[in-house]
Amino acid sequence: MNIDATAPVTKFNQEYFHATLTKIAQLASATEHSTLGPVQEFEMLRNCGALEVVLPGGALDFNKPDMPALLKLLKDVGKANLSVGRIFEGHINTLYLIHLYASTQQQEKWYDGVKEKGDLFGIWNTQGKDGIQVYSSSDSFTISGNKTFCSGASLVSKALITGNIETPERAGWQMLIVDMEKIGKENIDAESWKPLGMKASGSYQINFTGYTFQGSDFLGQPGIYLNQPHFSGGAIRFAAVQLGGAEAIMEGTIDYLKTLNRTDDPFQQLRISNICSEITSGRLWLKQSGKYYDEWVDDDTRKDDLIAFANMTRVNIEESCLKIMEESNRCVGARGLMAPYSLERIFRDLSFYLRQPAPDATRLKIAEFFIQNPGGFHD
Ligand SMILES: Cc1cc2nc3c(=O)[nH]c(=O)nc-3n(C[C@H](O)[C@H](O)[C@H](O)COP(=O)(O)OP(=O)(O)OC[C@H]3O[C@@H](n4cnc5c(N)ncnc54)[C@H](O)[C@@H]3O)c2cc1C
């Protein structure tokens, strides 16, 4: 299917979406070296309706939960390009928090931005010692400080950021939506991003000092960003994107071996078997965690189960991705890990993107859950 990036399709279109993903995968090696980042990719995702897919009336409307389908969608985007997957997942995550915590008026405003202007959202919580502080002035609020790891920094039009606030009305870790059109290019530090992989995610440091906004841009009350089970449960979304990268490695490995007529070799077949088993187990983790998410997210009695299962999904997919890279590495050898083959880039991207917050603490929490509930999930 030919794709015309200038021809918008108003509703989410599966066929157009899959053709878009093929094109995104083809562009990935050039995009990695582009100073602009994946601009064209998001234009295409916008045009096939993917940015609106979770809005009311959309194919994956959050009001009609279908987490397994959303996870598959995220996996497919990650398979095309992990950096695009990271930024897209941030957009979906922000829309989810707006769905959960915004007032009806705010939802209308921010949803309309996506539908009418094609707004792309980022979500930036990570920061160093010079993080975000929010101050109140007479009729508005001002920010000082920086965020790090701001994926899509130069692409997104609106960003959910978090910061500390201490006023008589609000105290704690507060979410707010920033209009990126008001953030000057000089505040975005592209030099701060020299990673092993995920270069195209453009996860730069941003200085928000001096940004002013109205109270209507606060999203929810202080502290709710960390509300459970949504906070830890949400890890299944980035795990889905990661597994997409591993699927691209699986396909790239088999294609490479076929090109060299090496698929009859039993050593290679053993490794292919291991890779495909890990992919299958990752897909099963995602499918089941999506199902549990839908069933348990509003049930307080299952909150701990949901978090434990999401934690396990995340760490098992991390382990699977690491094993898949090791097996693929041996399958294709040095020549398979050189450009123009895409495996060298996907290895770098996936290795880097697997580094997500608190991997050790997540495993400890899984152990704590099973020490308290030895029969966990066997009900
Ligand atoms: C490609 C990419 C894009 C990202 N995009 C975003 C984004 O858009 N928005 C956003 O908010 N964040 C983003 N992040 C940041 C991400 O959410 C994590 O905060 C970050 O990846 C964690 O960094 P780290 O591995 O250096 O963490 P660390 O916490 O330094 O962990 C490294 C290791 O140290 C261990 N460790 C942690 N604490 C201790 C301790 N006290 N003592 C001993 N060991 C410890 C950990 O278990 C782990 O093994 C992104 C990250 C990546 C890689």
Integer angstrom CA distances of residue 328 from 147, 242, 260, 343, 353: 36, 16, 15, 9, 18
Token readout for 175 is 């979410």
Distance CA 131, CA 162 (A): 9
Q: Nearest Cα to 101, choosing from 213, 12, 231, 214?
A: 231
Taking the C-alpha atoms of residue 164 and residue 143, their distance in angstroms, rounded to an integer, is: 10
Cα–Cα distances (Å) from 275 to 68, 150, 351, in that order, read 22, 32, 16
Written as six digits, the tokens of 8 are 């918008």
Q: Whose alpha carbon is nearest atom 2 of ligand 1?
A: 353
Domain 123-224 carries which CATH code?
2.40.110.10
356 Cα to the center of ligand 1, angstroms: 5
- Binding site membership of 83 for ligand 1 (Cβ less than 6 Å): no
Ligand 1 atom at minimal distance to the Cα of residue 127:
11
Residue of minimum CA distance from atom 22 in ligand 1:
357
Q: Where are the domains of the chain?
A: 14-120, 123-224, 230-372
DSSP letter for each residue of 35-54: SS-SHHHHHHHHHTTGGGTT
The residues of the chain scoring below 70 in pLDDT are 1-10, 379
355 CA distance to ligand 1 centroid (A)? 6
pTM to 2 decimal places? 0.96
For ligand 1, what atom is nearest to the CA of residue 86? 3
Supply 275's token pair: 């890779």
Q: What burial letters (b/e) apply to 28-67, b meaning 16+ CB within 10 Å? A: bbebbeeeebbebbbebbbbbbbbbbbbeebbbebeebbb
Q: Please tell me if the CB atom of residue 285 comes closer than 6 angstroms to any atom of ligand 1.
A: no
pLDDT of residue 139: 87
CB 213 within 8 A of CB 54: no
Q: What is the pLDDT of residue 2?
A: 59
Task: Establish whether residue 149 lines the binding site of ligand 1, counting it when its CB lies within 6 angstroms of any ligand atom.
Answer: yes
Decide: 225 and 231 in contact? Cβ < 8 Å.
yes
φ/ψ region of 53 (left if φ > 0, alpha if ψ in -120 to 50, else beta) reads alpha
Q: Are 248 and 25 in contact (CB under 8 A)?
A: yes
pLDDT of residue 134: 97
Ligand 1 atom with least separation from CA of 360: 47
User: What does CATH list as the number for 14-120?
Assistant: 1.10.540.10
379/367 Cα distance (integer angstroms): 19
Q: Where are the alpha helices (DSSP H) in 297-358?
A: 303-336, 343-353
Distance CA 150, CA 156 (A): 10
Q: Is there an atom of ligand 1 within 6 Å of 125 CB?
A: yes
Is 230-372 assigned to CATH 3.40.1190.10? no
- Report the nearest-CA residue for atom 44 of ligand 1: 360
Q: Using the mean position of ligand 1's atoms as its centre, give its distance from the Cα of residue 83 in Å.
A: 16
pLDDT score for 378: 72
Q: Which residues of 335-356 are buried (b: 16+ CB within 10 A; e: fewer)?
A: ebbeeebbbbbbbbbbbbbbee
Q: Judge whether 84 and 21 are in contact, CB under 8 Å.
A: no
CB 124 near ligand 1, within 6 Å: yes
What is the Cα–Cα distance from 237 to 163, expressed in whole angstroms? 23
